Amino acid sequence: MNRRHPALLVSALVGALALSACGGEDPLEGDEEQTGGGGGDAALVIGSANFPENVLLAEIYAAALGDAGVEVTTNLNIGNREAYMLGLEDGSIDLIPEYTGNLTLYLNESAEATESEAVYAELQESLPEDLTVLEMAEAEDKDSVVVTQETAEEFGLTSIADLAPHAPNMVLGGPAEWRDRFTGVPGLKEVYGLEFSSFKPLDAGSTLTVQALLNGQIDAGNIFSTDPAIAENDFVVLEDPEALFAAQNVVPLISTDKVTPEVEEALNAVSAALTTENLTEMMVQVQETDPADVAREFVDGL
């Protein structure tokens, strides 16, 4: 299967500028917090994307590094990958939780691997010299196409491929970047032949997609596989037999010059302890508890 998709190096700048224009704020000026010291120029800056799980993972990294004596600050809710990669490039952030499959595709438009170890190896080959990934976690959070139980039963849906004859009469919902990313509308069309009647942009990892499914604004939606809303609402995650969504193991992406033995040991310990099961459990907790508190409890148990 050809997994090629449009190069994103130019669109990264466009995406970041668009985010800046929305609300008039710099996309790299997220929620800043200081951990493990007095801050300052020497502090390692941990960023996060703008969805709850990534914020939680950033808080876990911050707590673990702080316990290891590393001075850190956080810059949370920066935006999507196109925005925060600019922060890694210009040095305004040093570390961010990432996902192996989508990061590999961002860096290498010809990426073909789909299984965890192969994706991780391809990612390492695709990284520029100034960026490094440390050990990946068993924990995985993949994009998924989800429908309600009623929709699945009405149309006999068990896999994404089953949507083909029905998609022209359906609305697909997902994060705005899904309109152009290969692991979104273009890939669903190329790999599965799906042509939806329309695409409704919604915030990644938010409750908007859940509500849109429940109230019938969309017929199928992109929800991350660890989202507790799937079980809570008895949604059906459609199988992906053509592996459009490659393995998405959680992995720390860090500026190479910020890797020290202390940093590496602390982050590798986090990766060794993170599983899909405990990450999903923590995502239930963050619905009612501050992510920093959930992160603190997890790190205390390492």
Tell me what pLDDT residue 31 has. 60
Task: Report whether 9 contacts 77 (CB < 8 A).
Answer: no
DSSP symbol at 238: P
Q: Where are the beta strands (DSSP E) in 21-157?
A: 31-35, 44-47, 72-76, 95-99, 131-133, 145-147
Residues 220 and 212 sit within 8 Å (Cβ to Cβ)? no
Task: Provide φ and ψ at 250, rounded to 5°.
Answer: -70, 135
- Tell how far CA 34 is from the center of its chain: 23
pLDDT of residue 92: 96
**Per-residue pLDDT at 34:** 57
**What is the average per-residue pLDDT within 112-128?**
97
Q: Which residues fall within 8 angstroms of residue 17, CB to CB, at 6 or more apart?
A: none
Residue 110: strand, helix, or coil: coil
Model pLDDT, residue 207: 83
At residue 19 the predicted structure's pLDDT band, cuts being 50, 70 and 90, is very low
Q: 171-180, 203-212, 258-267 — which is least confidently predicted? A: 203-212
Q: Which residue has the higher pLDDT, 31 or 232?
A: 232
CATH 3.40.190.10, the chain: domain bounds:
9-141+246-300
Residues 6+ apart with CB under 8 A from 82: 8, 11, 12, 14, 15, 16, 177
According to CATH, the topology of domain 9-141+246-300 is: D-Maltodextrin-Binding Protein; domain 2 (3.40.190)
Does residue 53 register a pLDDT over 50?
A: yes
Look at residue 177 in the predicted model and tell me its pLDDT: 87
Q: pLDDT at residue 44 above 80?
A: yes
Rounded to the nearest angstrom, the gap between the alpha carbon of residue 149 and the centroid of all alpha carbons in its chain is 25
- Residue 28: other Cβ atoms inside 10 A: 20
- In the sheet that 145-147 helps form, which strands lie side by side, from edge to edge? 198-201, 171-174, 220-222, 145-147, 236-237
Mean pLDDT of 126-144: 96
- pTM of the full structure: 0.78
User: What pLDDT was estimated at residue 104?
Assistant: 96
21 has pLDDT over 70: no
Q: What is the pLDDT of residues 264-297, one digit of tens each?
A: 999 999 999 999 999 999 999 999 999 999 999 9
The pLDDT tens digits for 153-188 are 999 999 999 999 999 999 999 999 899 988 899 999
Distance CA 214, CA 19 (A): 28
pLDDT confidence bin for 4, thresholds 50/70/90:
very low
Residues of the chain with CATH 3.40.190.120: 145-237
Lowest mean pLDDT among 12-21, 177-186, 231-240: 12-21
CA distance 26 to 20: 5
Give CA–CA dist 36/71, Å, rounded: 5
- Tell the CATH topology of 145-237: D-Maltodextrin-Binding Protein; domain 2 (3.40.190)
